[in-house]
Amino acid sequence: MKIGCVREIKPQEFRVGMTPGAATEAVANGHEVLIEAGAGMGSGFADADYVDAGAQILPDAAAVFAEADMIVKVKEPQAVERAMLRPGQILFTYLHLAPDPEQTKDLIKSGATCIAYETVTDRNGGLPLLAPMSEVAGKLAPQVGAYTLQKANGGRGVLMGGVPGVAPAKVVVIGGGVVGTHAARVAAGMGADVTVLDRSLPRLRQLDDMFGKTFRTAYSSRATTAELVSQADMVIGAVLIPGAAAPKLVTRDMLKTMKPGAVIVDVAIDQGGCCETSHATTHQDPIYEVDGVMHYCVANMPGAVARTSTLALGNATLPFMLALANKGWKQACYEDPHLLAGLNVHAGHITCPPVGEALGMPFITAHEALSV
Ligand SMILES: NC(=O)C1=CN([C@@H]2O[C@H](COP(=O)(O)OP(=O)(O)OC[C@H]3O[C@@H](n4cnc5c(N)ncnc54)[C@H](O)[C@@H]3O)[C@@H](O)[C@H]2O)C=CC1
Ligand SMILES: CC(=O)C(=O)O
Ligand SMILES: [Mg+2]
């Protein structure tokens, strides 16, 4: 198979979908690897590294899209990239379709087979291709939140760890999965007073067992969320219902009860965000204010630490990329229901029910797509 990888064109996105290491593996498996010139630069990989791996460098994205049977990326394809997809081509990348009707319509129109990293599952109920970037974004969240809390950046002027005689910042993390756990650990490590909310009691028990001395846990009801949010210096949004739009747990009314200069870091923004007042921002212009509350809502946070993120993502995607290339998408998905769970769009159909439900658009199941 011809596997193509293009330079990411989303603003300030420096990750790349394929490392030279992954290219080496693909070539060793008998595939041709086509890399857009400069694709790896932002992550510290030169074209020569890919050539050493046995890949071919093509001058631009158009050449890669035209030749490749499968495109491997990081972020959802932008409009100009979507226009280059064709029926039968495989797209393997993050998609986050539930809050994005325009992208969804374009992918349907393309006729391509689009497999989303974020809905691939594993046998433990986890999301193995989302997890590495959730680890990164979770660890970044208190870091960017602490910067936003500084007075000159619009924040309350509160230091995360406080000092002797002065209380630390109160941090509330909504969602105790991968993002939430990493965010809570880092925020607690900075000395903040941290509470993690989740609606899964088994998850709260696990967190309490593992981190009971590091941070508190609370059940995610409306009333508890409202109370904790009103007291918080920083709220970190980290919920997920796989494939679906994020539930709006912090309402506009709750925002009015927050302290002036408090900060919301809505990591869940790639699924639409869990605060009613969140909208996606970019690394170029990451922060905005509503009702005196500072919002940081960058939808590709891991792009800020591209080298770490590219390596971490590459480790996770490699076996799935090889399965798709070695067996073809249909056989690979037929043999592996966890990879099949990643199928979001195929041959003009939405194939991920939560996406169809979120957008009010018709859908078939991924299983049905195997016979389309
Ligand atoms: N902005 C960015 O750059 C990035 C965003 N993300 C996003 O962060 C979000 C979280 O991802 P993960 O931590 O990997 O997901 P996860 O599945 O590991 O954790 C989500 C948690 O949310 C909990 N949850 C669901 N509904 C809830 C509710 N009503 N109240 C409280 N908790 C609730 C679940 O029980 C689960 O523990 C996702 O939307 C993901 O796409 C991930 C990486 C980068
Ligand atoms: C998960 C995601 O959207 C990202 O890493 O950019
Ligand atoms: Mg206010």
- The number of CA neighbours under 13 Å toward the Cβ of 317 is 32
Q: What pLDDT is recorded for position 11?
A: 87
Integer CA distances (angstroms), 2 to 204, 248, 317, in order = 45, 42, 17
Q: 280: alpha, beta or left, given left = phi > 0 and alpha = psi -120 to 50? A: beta
Looking at the CA of residue 117, tell me the nearest atom of ligand 2: 1
State if residue 132 touches ligand 2 by the CB under 6 angstroms criterion: no
- Where the chain has pLDDT below 70, the residues are none
Looking at the CA of residue 76, tell me the nearest atom of ligand 2: 3
Would strands 349-350 and 343-346 be described as parallel, antiparallel, or unpaired?
antiparallel
Q: Best mutation site among 239, 248, 298 for ligand 1, i.e. most ligand atoms within 8 A of its Cβ? A: 239
- CB 294 within 8 Å of CB 287: yes
State if residue 241 touches ligand 1 by the CB under 6 angstroms criterion: yes
pTM higher than 0.90: yes
Residue 278 CA to ligand 3 center (angstroms) comes to 15
Greatest CA separation found in the chain? Answer: 67
338 belongs to the catalytic site:
no
Looking at the CA of residue 240, tell me the nearest atom of ligand 1: 20
Residue 258 CA to ligand 3 center (angstroms) comes to 5
Q: Best mutation site among 94, 127, 179 for ligand 1, i.e. most ligand atoms within 8 A of its Cβ? A: 179
Q: Which of 193, 198, 266, 270 is catalytic?
A: 270
193 belongs to the catalytic site:
no
Residue nearest to atom 35 of ligand 1 (CA): 200
Q: H-helix or E-strand containing 140?
A: helix 131-149
Residue nearest to atom 4 of ligand 2 (CA): 300
State if residue 207 touches ligand 1 by the CB under 6 angstroms criterion: no
Residue nearest to atom 42 of ligand 1 (CA): 134
What number is the ipTM of this complex? 0.97
State if residue 175 touches ligand 1 by the CB under 6 angstroms criterion: yes
Looking at the CA of residue 303, tell me the nearest atom of ligand 2: 6
Residue nearest to atom 5 of ligand 2 (CA): 133
DSSP label at 284?
A: T
Residue 238 CA to ligand 3 center (angstroms) comes to 22
Q: Best mutation site among 248, 266, 267 for ligand 1, i.e. most ligand atoms within 8 A of its Cβ? A: 267
- CB 214 within 8 Å of CB 187: no
State if residue 302 touches ligand 2 by the CB under 6 angstroms criterion: yes
> What are the φ and ψ backbone dihedral angles of 173, each rounded to 5 degrees?
-110, 120
Q: What pLDDT is recorded for position 162?
A: 98
Q: 343: alpha, beta or left, given left = phi > 0 and alpha = psi -120 to 50? A: beta
List the Cα angle 252/135/243 in 5-degree steps.
Answer: 60
State if residue 92 touches ligand 2 by the CB under 6 angstroms criterion: no
Q: How many residues does the chain have?
A: 372
Q: What pLDDT is recorded for position 243?
A: 85
Residue 255 CA to ligand 3 center (angstroms) comes to 6
